[in-house]
Structure 1
């Protein structure tokens, strides 16, 4: 098959792909930038392709056992292929954008249901922007959110987080944006993105940790069952610094937490279950990481223990 035919084939198969096929698709995307460009062109073309008006009410005839079951599939491929050439043409007029902004206070969470069936859960201290007339795209300006995206091969959901666009193929994934740091973890399905100019496809059990300011990117393995664990009070720490953890707790509880000295850069790994009560969780976490703590007014201050000084 030509590259275009391969892209169309993958696009059509997404309606009922297995986990193994998602992995194969992710590998195909990463094999060459040309693969990703071809797939994007096919997806855009399919989104603009509409059935002929005279076919709208036609009821398909049953397929006999000796009929060519693949004919309809290749007819669809032909239609999409023809539409690829039209992508660069005039775009149909759309209604005026209706921008919605969902913003949570520290300590608050919110559930959002988009018109297309996609569900989003926002963590505390988060801000999400989207167009109610185009719910296949959104922007996470800050904070953390879990996305459960309705699968639509003709219109993949796209999330913008900083300079990174995350293309979803119908899945469950979690995104956290904090300053220059971006974390993406996938629980089901697959997403594609191109941080720092590198095209990456992630499937269930995979994630990335990106420091845009430092131009550092790492791929990590994640436990799918832990993706979005913050909703149940779970902190899944994979080498995060104490300073980063303090910022997460500030968003969760709406309290100020300062970290003194070199402790701010100490990495922490492990899973911590929080109680939901900041006055209990901050000193408990300090004890777990071997740090001291004190309060000054309403602020919490973490410091290295005497043994570490």
Structure 2
């Protein structure tokens, strides 16, 4: 650990850059923890990485956006299973709306982190759209995609997340939300979340999740492995009976892969862990081997069939 001086932090950043050149490097959790030790670590790392890059690969200048009374939006590089996919550094995807809201959109395969003024943070997976509101500092709306919320507890001031018609009231915890095309998935790794307190009022403690369909019907609560919650941030997707259609959707969002699913395999349950890497064919091979299905290469992407 450094003494916190700029020179020492620069040395640590350079050490991370050198270590990440090794194909066997896998300490992405340690790297994420180092980034989160100080708001300045990310900026120093980006600057050192730019210096280390070839002249033709230098990213555009990074700029921080500050929204009144609300978030400082900290951009992040794109990661595929812990491998640096591209230097997508910048502020693309952040839009300040006339209403005072902040619209954040990530491309498939891109991941970003938003640091809020109250100390909470939102890790956003690829293919996602999040909206924040400067007039509601303890509020976020996930319009589509996936995000991991780390909420700071404030007595009498819960954090509210809206996803479709659902409302999630958080008392200070960590939980993952997926707003799918036809429903919602929530998984809690720490603390407590209330699902639709004005209607179903389902209490989700750590180690529990919920599946809710837009088509109606009661939401399904199930026990989950807390260590698998938000595992996409560590380059891994873990499933226990999830449909192949949802797995394909998750892979597309997290890696940028284009995966179509034939109707005869869409509802098949999938159990297992997929390691996300830059080798796209390997990801597909792992999925088909574990699921007992086939993948046909198409002009763009793959088609999953029996």
TM over 0.5: yes
> Does the 8 Å contact 1:196/1:215 carry over to 2?
no
> Does the 8 Å contact 2:111/2:126 carry over to 1?
yes
Q: Hey, what does 1:240 align to over in structure 2? A: 242
Q: Are 2:276 and 1:269 aligned?
A: no
Q: Hey, what does 1:126 align to over in structure 2? A: 128
How many angstroms apart in 1 are the aligned matches of 2:278 and 2:224? 24
Q: Hey, what does 2:259 align to over in structure 1? A: 257
Give the alignment partner of residue 191 of structure 2, picking from 166, 189, 192: 189
**Cα RMSD for the two superposed structures:** 1.8
Q: Hey, what does 1:112 align to over in structure 2? A: 114
How many angstroms apart in 2 are the aligned matches of 1:150 and 1:298? 42
How many angstroms apart in 1 are the aligned matches of 2:257 and 2:172? 36
Q: Are 2:173 and 1:168 aligned?
A: no
TM-aligned CA deviation for residue 278 of structure 1 = 2.4
Q: Hey, what does 1:209 align to over in structure 2? A: 211
Matched length: 209
Q: Hey, what does 1:147 align to over in structure 2? A: 149
Residues 8-47 of structure 1: pairs in structure 2 closer than 5 A = none
How many angstroms apart in 2 are the aligned matches of 1:134 and 1:115? 11
How many angstroms apart in 1 are the aligned matches of 2:277 and 2:165? 34
How many angstroms apart in 2 are the aligned matches of 1:255 and 1:229? 18
Residues 170-200 of structure 1, C-alpha deviations (whole Å, 9 max, x = no match):
0111111111221111111101112893111
Residues 15-94 of structure 1: pairs in structure 2 closer than 5 A = none
How many angstroms apart in 2 are the aligned matches of 1:179 and 1:196? 24
Unmatched 5+ residue regions in structure 2?
1-97
TM-aligned CA deviation for residue 212 of structure 1 = 2.1
TM-score by length of 1: 0.64
How many angstroms apart in 2 are the aligned matches of 1:109 and 1:174? 14
TM-score by length of 2: 0.65
> Does the 8 Å contact 1:97/1:132 carry over to 2?
no
TM-aligned CA deviation for residue 97 of structure 1 = 5.3
SS at match of 2:219: strand
Larger radius of gyration: 1
Residues 59-106 of structure 1, C-alpha deviations (whole Å, 9 max, x = no match):
xxxxxxxxxxxxxxxxxxxxxxxxxxxxxxxxxxxxx95200111000
How many angstroms apart in 1 are the aligned matches of 2:203 and 2:108? 32
